[in-house]
Amino acid sequence: MEDEEESSNGGVPPRKKLRLTKEQSRLLEESFRQNHTLNPRQKEALAMELKLRPRQVEVWFQNRRARSKLKQTEMECEYLKRWFGSLTEQNRRLQREVEELRAMKVGPPTVLSPHSCEPLPASTLTMCPRCERVTTTATDKGPTQITAAISTTAATALSSKVGTPALQSRSSSAAC
């Protein structure tokens, strides 16, 4: 493109835009399915086969990677939205349940300590997001910490479903 003749508008050539043929797109897609990146030799060979410049093949792969990443992000976003909806619903149900229990004027359930076999107050109990065991260590967690714990659990669950390395690495950094 850059070696084409310049136009009359101040020496700046109008940017022409190539439209790939269906066959070219098909071959590029096929190649992308096999490998999301190309080494210089593969790029050269593919460009030759498609009668394109190596730079055009490179740009196509860059844009293609960006498109698939965008698609993946959109899917994750949809999943998180649905999950948020179900968590909200679950939260509503649990709050209703609490209200009902309060209305019944039933005291908190007595839980015995696994260590001393003495009763523990329910307010000191919390669920570990990783091992899903009840612990008694985090009695004074504020809302921020609790939200962080929930987010970590969410990220873990999402990454296990979607399989995103970034999310997995982020979630694995949370301490148990």
Binding site for DNA (CB under 7 A): 1-2, 14-20, 25, 37-38, 40, 55-56, 58-67, 69
Nearer to DNA, 20 or 138 (CB): 20
* Nearest approach, Cβ of residue 22 and DNA (Å): 11
* Nearest approach, Cβ of residue 5 and DNA (Å): 14
* Nearest approach, Cβ of residue 88 and DNA (Å): 29
Nearer to DNA, 1 or 94 (CB): 1
Nearer to DNA, 17 or 102 (CB): 17
Nearer to DNA, 50 or 158 (CB): 50
3-state SS of the chain is CCCCCCCCCCCCCCCCCCCCCHHHHHHHHHHHHHCCCCCHHHHHHHHHHHCCCHHHHHHHHHHHHHHHHHHHHHHHHHHHHHHHHHHHHHHHHHHHHHHHHHHHCCCCCCEECCCCCCEECHHHCEECCCCCCEECCCCCCCHHHHHHHHHHHHHHHHHHHHCCHHHHHHHHCCCC
* Nearest approach, Cβ of residue 1 and DNA (Å): 5
